[in-house]
Amino acid sequence: MTEAQAPRIHRPPIVVLGVQPNDPPFRLVEIAGELAGKAHSVLEVIEIARAVGLDDVDLDDPDVVRWVGGDKFTWTPFWPSRSGHSRHSRHSRHPPPPAPPERRG
């Protein structure tokens, strides 16, 4: 097989990586293989693309954008945080230990 006959692997110019757990969550955006920015929404993906000269980006076209770890509607992490603590719970699930008895002496 010659080089001209070999299949070509196409890499879309924009790659939106999986959601990063943070407060708020975000997705890294690569354009032409280079890190271009951090997006918190679909609109920010468009803004990042415009900042590097890509106008009228069709986010639904797989030849233009590759969504990793979810589609354009995925903006929350799939897995809970690794710390084991819920960010939404302010109280411990276990009551505090009892106070030691007073010594009389």
> What's the predicted TM-score (pTM) here?
0.66
105 assigned to some structural domain: no
Number of domains in the chain: 1
Q: Is the pLDDT of residue 78 over 90?
A: no
55 assigned to some structural domain: yes
23 assigned to some structural domain: yes
Looking at residue 94, what is its pLDDT? 56
85 assigned to some structural domain: no
Q: Is the pLDDT of residue 59 over 90?
A: yes
96 assigned to some structural domain: no
53 assigned to some structural domain: yes
Q: What is the pLDDT of residues 4-20, one digit of tens each?
A: 666 666 678 999 999 99
19 assigned to some structural domain: yes
Residues 70, 16: Cα–Cα separation, whole Å: 9
Residues 16, 26: Cα–Cα separation, whole Å: 10
pLDDT confidence band for 95 (50 / 70 / 90): low
- Residue 43: domain span: 14-67
Q: Between 31 and 84, whose confidence is greater?
A: 31
Residue 86 burial by Cβ neighbours in a 10 Å radius (0-12, 13-18, 19+)? exposed
41 assigned to some structural domain: yes
